[in-house]
């Protein structure tokens, strides 16, 4: 009976964590470039039950009773790096990164991901798919959170004002057709090595070098000025999954209550008879 309590309890914990993940996805549905998380449910290792106190081998029978499941858990939480839809904004500083053909990582089986390269407040390089850019007081192109957008040379890009034109390759021209720089686009061969840090920024923890997409014959992409990439979270599907997680949680909760009532009767009634 205690095993049943553990199984129902682990099911409730797993569904609660899944619900928290789905809630976070839904709350970021309007965050440009956001990649929704997806969870993998796994079962704990099964136990083999054996009969004790009897000599089954004497009668030519096995003492194995069978397997016993010990519950489930949410093993991992990984982002879905599928391309989001494009939304037109008309702002010169909004730039959507449209991913075309990219190589596939042989080990992970994941398609590579293209990202903007940014410089956070600590001077560390971070990556993002959020093209909702702005211009700071000194004329530098930054993210909406103030992180500098790096060019193909790894340096900050000074565009002076919003009167700019961005080509599909990421070259930035002033109103006088002066070349101001080129937006850096990097290739992450194994996107599973990217860790979310909040505000749409990603930290790379892989061992392979991050290479540039500019001039890379294995990669095709384009930048679209006046557009942003929307979140790839499907509101209808996420809401449905949240309802399923809630129903599973409630089912495990009822099972837990049933076990609790059975134990209460075993302790009070059987104990009184004895």
pLDDT digits (tens, 9 = 90+) for 227-248: 999 999 999 999 999 999 999 9
pLDDT of residue 70: 64
- Please state, rounded to an integer, the average pLDDT across all residues of the chain: 84
pLDDT of residue 256: 84
Q: What is the pTM for the complete model shown?
A: 0.78
144 burial (CB, 10 Å; 0-12 / 13-18 / 19+) is: middle
CB 240 within 8 A of CB 26: no
How far is 249 from 238, CA to CA, in rounded Å? 16
Higher pLDDT, 187 or 63: 187
Phi, psi of 15 (to 5 degrees): -70, -30
How far is 133 from 149, CA to CA, in rounded Å? 8
CB 159 within 8 A of CB 181: yes
- The whole-number average pLDDT for the span 94-120 is 78
Domain range summary for the chain, segments of one domain joined by +:
2-79+239-273, 87-229
pLDDT of residue 28: 93
- The whole-number average pLDDT for the span 173-183 is 93
How many Cα atoms within 13 Å fall on the side-chain side of residue 273?
Answer: 5
CB 202 within 8 A of CB 194: yes
pLDDT digits (tens, 9 = 90+) for 29-48: 999 999 999 887 776 556 55
């Amino acid at each position: 009976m205690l095993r049943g309590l553990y199984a129902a309890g682990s099911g409730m914990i797993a569904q609660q964590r899944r619900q928290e993940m789905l809630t976070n996805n839904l709350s970021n549905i309007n965050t440009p470039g956001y990649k929704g998380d997806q969870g993998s449910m796994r079962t704990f290792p099964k136990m083999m039950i054996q009969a004790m106190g009897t000599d089954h081998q004497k009668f030519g029978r096995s003492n194995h009773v069978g397997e016993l499941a010990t519950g489930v858990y949410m093993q991992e939480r990984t982002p879905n790096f599928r391309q989001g839809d494009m939304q037109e904004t008309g702002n010169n500083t909004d730039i959507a990164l449209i991913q075309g053909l990219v190589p596939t990582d042989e080990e992970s089986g994941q398609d590579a991901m293209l990202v903007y390269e940014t410089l956070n407040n600590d001077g560390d390089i971070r990556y993002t798919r959020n093209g909702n850019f702005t211009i700071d007081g000194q004329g530098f192109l930054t993210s909406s959170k103030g992180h500098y957008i790096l060019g193909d040379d790894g340096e900050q890009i000074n565009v002076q004002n919003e009167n700019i034109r961005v080509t599909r390759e990421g070259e930035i021209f002033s109103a006088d057709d002066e070349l101001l720089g080129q937006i850096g686009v990097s290739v992450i061969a194994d996107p599973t090595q990217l860790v979310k840090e909040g505000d749409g920024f990603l930290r790379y923890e892989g061992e392979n070098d991050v290479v540039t997409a500019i001039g890379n014959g294995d990669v095709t992409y384009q930048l679209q000025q006046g557009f942003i990439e929307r979140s790839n979270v499907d509101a209808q599907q996420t809401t449905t999954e949240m309802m399923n997680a809630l129903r599973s949680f409630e089912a495990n909760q009822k099972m837990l209550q049933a076990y609790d009532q059975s134990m209460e009767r075993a302790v009070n009634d059987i104990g009184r008879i004895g």
